[in-house]
Structure formats: C-alpha cells, structure tokens
Structure 1
C-alpha cells in the first residue's frame, strides 16, 4: 500500500501541477476544519487511519 502523500506526489508529477497548501473545492477553498475532514476521510479510506 502506498502512503497518501506519495500517491498525491506521483499524480501531481504526472499532471505537472505545482504543490499548494490550500486546496480549491467547488466554488470555494478548503481551509481549516474542511481540509482536516477531507484529509481524515482520505486517510481512513486508504487504511492509514482507523475509523472512529
């Protein structure tokens, strides 16, 4: 199983997108609590974080 940060790094290298700290969502930017929820959902689905 590949760690999430390496998975994203590989995809960004393929699409030539530079790294950014604030991710853009639909009509707004993901910051703070929203970004944490997305991160936790990804880590839970990839098996790096156990569901509560």
Structure 2
C-alpha cells in the first residue's frame, strides 16, 4: 500500500517527501480531531474506580 502511494506521488524526491509528510500529518489530524473524539465515549477508560 505504501509503495502504491509513493509511486503515485508526483515530482522529484524532495516534492514526494513533502507530499508524504503532508499526507501523514493530515491522517494524524483526522484521527485526533474526528475519529478519537467520536470513539472516546465508547471506550471503557472513563469508568475507573480505585480501591479504598
């Protein structure tokens, strides 16, 4: 899959590296701002109890 993405990026090596970095940052931003906030209420980590 990564090879397919790399082959379809246009330009010389410097442009490809820049585009790959932008794609990676966009993917991370999508996860941080859309996917993780949506999934947070579904995760059981908020129900923490401590023994007394």
Q: Which has the higher helix share?
A: 2
Q: Which has the higher strand share?
A: 1
Structures share a fold, TM > 0.5?
A: no
Bigger relative CO (Cα 8 Å, ≥ 6 apart): 1
TM score, norm. by length of structure 2: 0.37
